[in-house]
Amino acid sequence: MARLELRPRLQHPAAWWLWGLGLATAASRTTNPVLLLLVVGVCVVVVAERHDPATVNPLPAFLVIGAVIVVFRIVMTALLGNGFVGQTVVVTLPSVPLPDWAASVRIGGTVTLESLLYAAYDALRLAAVLACLGAANALASPRRLLRYLPATLYDVGTAVVVGLTFAPQLLTDARDVRAARTLRGRDGRGVREMARLTVPVLETAFERSLGLAASMESRGYGRSVRSTTTSRRAATGLALAGLVGVLAGLYGLLDSSAGGVLGLPVLVLGALLAGSSLVVGASRDPRSGHRRDRWTWTATTTVLAGAVPAAVLVIASAGGWPGVVPSQQAQLPEVPLLAVLAVLVSATPAWFTPRPREVAP
């Protein structure tokens, strides 16, 4: 097996994002708690195995938010009820009488097991989707995707990179200014102090940004993107045509009396036109890159591993397999075996992908 051990490196970020989106699609199609917990488990395992140790792991924060959503939804359902009427009464809370204008709302009253389970399953689905996104964020930092912006957005991408570089410096500056104010006997709390902080901090930031602009200009910034008047006009034309198409398609889609059949194709066509304006507008000079991400067979396999559960669960929910949308009863829901296997397939990237480089202790 030693021959299969790959050189440590980071896998292509797009592969991890496509994998995460595939898994999120799968999770959004089912409310079966077993499947959803399995999806969360897959995310945790893959992140534990392949998370880049050089960056902060955002997955725990996503998991906490998911857990808070589940608890919040259950508590809200117990207090305010939901549109689901059940038979099994768990407990009857004292109810609060409300004025006429809020007659449709109830506070307290009977709490049924079915409505609680419905809320829990539904919230769990959202939590699982969040876990998939958190895993994608953890496995490939989204800022690594900035490199793949089309040439038309080169300027915008640069501004974001400048922002990403300046933000930590801003925080350091803010800490320094605050420390200086504390030394002068201010406690540095409250809105007024916060407002006082902004002026020196932003002054410094502007100073630095103008310095950066000067150095960018002196180094011939922006020469790598080629854009002519013709190409820009073509891009504008495509973008406007595409936007009009999108509007028309939306209208057709939402107002079924106005030709709902045409809605989706027109919408897709408009979106394609608008998207192509990004490609047409400018082109980039070919240049060599530093530590360019390579798309290898592991990346392709990772994307496929994410696509398998998505495909299986989309088919399952469309075909109405038993257990994909379980009934709200006090029993363990039926678990479709094929869906479980499909979700387990998506865990395989934890082993066949290259390991990220270890950080020197």
Partner 1 sequence: MMTGRRVIPLRWPAAVAVGVVGIVGLVAFTWPFFVTADVARDHGNDAPWLFAVLLGLLAVVCLAEVTAGRLDAKTIAVLGVAAAAGGGLRLLSAGTAGLEPMFFVVIVAGRVLGPGVGFVSGALAVTTGALLTGGVGPWLPFQMICAGGIGLGAGLLPVRAGSRVERWALAAYALVTGLVFGLFMNLWFWPFLGTGAPTGMGFVPGAPLQDNLAHYGLFYLATSLGWDLPRGVLNAVLVLVAGPALLRVFRRGARRAAFGVPVVFAPAPGRDAAPHREPAEPHDEPPVVPLHDAEHPR
Looking at beta carbons only, is 145 or 344 nearer to partner 1? 145
Cα separation, 28 vs 310, whole angstroms: 9
Whole-Å CA distances, 36 to 29, 125, 130: 10, 6, 11
* Residue span 158-197 as binding mask against partner 1, x where in contact by CB under 8 A, dash where not: xxxxxxxxxxxxxx--x----------------xx-xxx-
Residue 141 sits in the site that holds partner 1 (CB under 8 A): yes
Query: How far, in whole angstroms, is CA 130 from its chain's centroid?
Result: 7
Cα separation, 332 vs 117, whole angstroms: 11
Residue 346 sits in the site that holds partner 1 (CB under 8 A): no
The residues in 298-317 that bind partner 1, with binding defined as CB under 8 A, are none
Cα separation, 159 vs 167, whole angstroms: 12
Smallest gap, in angstroms, from Cβ of residue 311 to partner 1?
Answer: 16
Smallest gap, in angstroms, from Cβ of residue 230 to partner 1?
Answer: 12
Looking at beta carbons only, is 102 or 360 nearer to partner 1? 102
Check: CB of residue 173 under 8 Å from CB of residue 204: yes
Phi, psi (degrees; rounded to nearest 5) at 93: -90, 155
* Residue span 234-273 as binding mask against partner 1, x where in contact by CB under 8 A, dash where not: -xx--xx-xxx-xx--x--xxxx---x------x---x--
Looking at beta carbons only, is 84 or 188 nearer to partner 1? 84
Cα separation, 11 vs 237, whole angstroms: 37
Looking at beta carbons only, is 254 or 341 nearer to partner 1? 254
> 158: buried, middle or exposed (CB in 10 Å: 19+, 13-18, 0-12)?
middle
The residues in 205-234 that bind partner 1, with binding defined as CB under 8 A, are 205-207, 209-218, 221-222, 227, 232
The residues in 57-86 that bind partner 1, with binding defined as CB under 8 A, are 58, 61, 73, 76-77, 79-84
Residue 326 sits in the site that holds partner 1 (CB under 8 A): no
Q: b/e map of 321-331 (b: 16 or more CB within 10 Å)?
A: bebbebebeee
